[in-house]
Amino acid sequence: MKRVVITGLGAVTPIGIGRDKYWNSLFRGKSGIDYITRFDTEKYDTKIGAEIKDFSPEDFMDRKEARRMDRFTQYAMAGTSLALEDGDIKLEKLDRERIGVVIGSGIGGMETLEKEHSKLLERGPKRVSPLFIPMMISNMAPGQISMVYGIKGPSFAITTACASSTHAIGESFRMIQRGIADLIITGGSEGAITPISLAGFNSMKALSTRNEEPTKASRPFDKERDGFVIGEGAGILILEELNHALDRGATIYGEIIGYGATSDAYHITAPDPEAGGAKRAMELALKDGKIHFSNIDYINAHGTSTYYNDKLETLAIKKAFKEHAYNLAISSTKSMTGHLLGAAGGIEAIATILAIKEGIIPPTINYENPDESCDLNYTPNTLIKRDIKYAISNSLGFGGHNASILLKKYME
């Protein structure tokens, strides 16, 4: 099997656009959560979210083309532009038939759907835009990236709710391992802070209603957690076959060596109460990478700040890592970014590989009240400096989808 390395990072997040701004905010414990400004939340139980407030599509693409894209596709395009620049990738010098694009999105073009549905109700069917379908569908993020950059290798979308990005990264890893592609642009994008999304998650009682303290609302593993905070953005990574990267003199952030994917087969939204699926995803990633669980230094947890997710992810870690679970450093960067749904795994993979490269474990902020069912080391409130050789990033999605990737410090 071929070795697969990470050579470019593009982050479009509520706490910063670009690798450095995102990373600096993470290790400083900066929250990107505030009151939602995009629409009136007066009638909503939840009035807070993690919006990206300094994003201008024209910084990354032609203005006319941007108007033909939903917000989630704009974020994916921006993340791709940043990742290609970060990786110093000159596409004109590469075989674009050996390059792929695999992007995850849990919801796709929800903003476009709402806008065009309003037109239908208010003005009739003939006023619905002919661009409605191609702007809304989830595959249009990889489709637009492929068209704009002339990429002719494998191109597809993955939609597995909040596990979408991690599945996308894992499947890209597999394709490069097996020689199907030399380089893949992968990760995820989401732009679902919209009226109906907020209403739907509120109806499920999934969102935090800590409206009086927005920056403290996302508090993974804390006993007083009351739900997740919806976020938006994109996390795009360049995965590359090792020799292909070395031949072009690439900077290598780290290596991906394992991937595990499982299903709970239990419930449409609730996790398996025995945590079997999440446990097996981590175990499969370890087996794939031929690494014993005792060698793992850090886990970037899914850690949504919902009662059952945090409790049962903790249980899964204990079952997978046994006594070593108490030696692990764990953190949930969702405490700062909110939950980017299908894009979460993308930005969290970036956080994990930078943690390995920099030897810094970002904190879980807002951890104030210990929970007896969440009794591991969640890196509360302050970063930890630690040499990290191996780390796992977890994503767990509605529908029982679980995905884990195993990342490693790069050594020649």
- Which residues have a catalytic role annotated? 162
Q: Residue 2 belongs to what H/E stretch?
A: none
Separation of alpha carbons 349 and 362, rounded Å:
13
Let me know if 411 is exposed, middle or buried by CB neighbors in 10 A (0-12, 13-18, 19+): exposed
**For residues 183 and 243, is the Cβ–Cβ distance under 8 A?**
no
| Phi-psi map region of 214: left, alpha, beta (phi>0 left; psi -120 to 50 alpha) | alpha
How crowded is residue 53: how many other Cβ atoms within 10 Å of its Cβ? Answer: 10
SS3 5: strand
Residue 125 CB neighbours (<10 A): 8
Find the farthest-apart pair of alpha carbons in the chain and give their distance in angstroms, rounded. 63
Among positive and negative, which fits the CA dihedral 112, 118, 121, 125? negative
349 class by beta-carbon count within 10 Å (0-12 exposed, 13-18 middle, 19+ buried): buried
| Cα 83 from Cα 10, distance rounded (Å) | 4
- List of long-range contacts for 110-115, beta carbons under 8 Å, 24+ apart: 110/70, 110/72, 110/136, 110/191, 110/192, 110/194, 110/196, 110/197, 111/70, 111/71, 111/72, 111/191, 111/192, 111/194, 112/70, 112/136, 114/194, 114/195, 114/196
Q: Residue length, the chain?
A: 412
Those residues whose C-beta lies under 8 Å from the C-beta of residue 119, and which sit 6 or more positions away, are 127, 128, 129
Query: Which residues sit opposite 104 in a β-bridge?
Result: 158, 188
Amino acid at 324: H
Q: Are strands 390-397 and 298-300 parallel, antiparallel or unpaired?
A: parallel
What are the respective helix, strand and coil percentages of the chain, to the nearest 5?
Answer: 40, 20, 40
Find, among 334, 392, 326, 331, the residue nearest to 360 by Cα.
Answer: 331
* 123 three-class SS: helix
